[in-house]
Structure 1
């Protein structure tokens, strides 16, 4: 068979492999039944659904003709690096690195740091807009996770709160 859309084929392949991996990983947990769901029920169904969607996208890429074959372009290294670095930074700022002597900075600092780093992945960077976004995200996350869900994790740096 001839691939008519490379972008759709490889994205469908990625969905299928990821979904199958999550479904397989969910079998390590108790699945249960529809009336009495176990901890593995939702990830199993979600993984299966993702794999089915991926298979459908792959099938479409083999059957539906595109004008130029939807070739895959070069890797977008700048966004890839900044987004991965932002996620790593969030984990480090939220929990700290005790082995390196870096204390936990808390949720608010982690959101501001992550938003600043990830916003550099785009074509333009406007500090004022990024700080407004980080403020809104911080307020929303504080309200959702700390006030409503009552999750217990540091909100402010440990050297401030004691």
Structure 2
């Protein structure tokens, strides 16, 4: 068979790889049964479903004709860098890095940093829009995680809260 859509083919392979990895990793936990699920049940089923969907996408990529073969373009390095950097900075600011002397800055500061850094991945940057989005995300995250779910993690910088 000939690959008729490169994008779908490689996306399907990626989905299958991630699905198999999740399913395999889930087998190290107690899976249980459908009526009495263990901690490995959900990741196992999710991994199987993801691998199945990847198989369907890969099959479609080899059977359905696309215009010009749907070639894969070059890597988008700038968005990749800024999205990864935003996630690393979020993790570091949320909990801090005590071994390097970086204090925990809390949820609010971490969300603002995440939003501003990841917005640099796009073609255009509007500071006012990003600030509004960051504020909505910070308030929504505080309400959902701290107020509603009562999760215990730093909300404000440690030098403010003590």
TM-score (normalizing by structure 2): 1.00
Residue 158 of structure 2 is aligned to residue 158 of structure 1: yes
Distance 1:45 1:79 in 2: 31
Distance 2:49 2:35 in 1: 19
Residue 5 of structure 2 is aligned to residue 13 of structure 1: no
Distance 2:37 2:67 in 1: 46
Q: What CA deviation, in whole Å up to 9, does each residue of 1:36-84 have, x standing for no partner?
A: 0000000000000000000000000000001100000000000000000
Q: Which residue of 2 aligns with 1:43?
A: 43
Distance 2:154 2:22 in 1: 30
Deviation at 1:107, TM superposition (A): 0.1
Q: Which residue of 1 aligns with 2:52?
A: 52
Distance 2:7 2:66 in 1: 11
Distance 2:158 2:117 in 1: 22
Q: Which residue of 2 aligns with 1:96?
A: 96
Q: What CA deviation, in whole Å up to 9, does each residue of 1:69-120 have, x standing for no partner?
A: 0000000000000000000000000010101111000000000001000000
Q: Which residue of 1 aligns with 2:106?
A: 106
Q: Which residue of 2 aligns with 1:124?
A: 124
Distance 2:68 2:101 in 1: 54
- The gaps in structure 2 that reach 5 residues or longer are none
Distance 1:60 1:84 in 2: 30
Distance 1:25 1:65 in 2: 35
Distance 2:109 2:21 in 1: 34
TM-score (normalizing by structure 1): 1.00
Task: Give the 3-state SS of the residue equivalent to 1:65 in structure 2.
Answer: coil
Q: Which residue of 2 aligns with 1:141?
A: 141
- The gaps in structure 1 that reach 5 residues or longer are none
